[in-house]
Structure 1
Amino acid sequence: MEDTVTRQHAHPNTVFHCLYGFYCLGYSRVDLAIIYNKAVRTIGNWINTRQKMTTNAWANYFEILVKVPGML
């Protein structure tokens, strides 16, 4: 059962909270990998993807999260 849970794609809400921890709270990639039970490389991929997004794309992504009930 644990393999099923840890080997699936992360929910967008999880990625958002992880990025919040990195950018706003100052957690390291290693700390976040432990907290979210993901590989450090996965956390790095999330951060790299965010850094490649334009400000407008990030705003649109955040707006979608806010509009969907239960996402934030």
Structure 2
Amino acid sequence: MLIHVVTPGETLWQIASRYGVDFARLVAVNELPDSGRLVIGQALIIPRAARQHTVESGETLWNVSKLVV
């Protein structure tokens, strides 16, 4: 998950495009009642696709955590 802070002149459509996130998903995740009204300084959650990793013999949690950053 990422956090994006809205700056002057930005639109939700631009933010969704910037992060490669579906517009409707961005609206839903942030529970925005009016997708046309953003507030400068507003923090938006940018959802990221889930990642999977099959643990192999000898891997540690530390090693796996470095893979998914």
TM over 0.5: no
Higher helix fraction (1 or 2) = 1
Scaled by the length of structure 1, what TM-score is found?
Answer: 0.36
Find the structure with the greater CA-based Rg.
2
With normalisation by structure 2, the TM-score equals 0.37
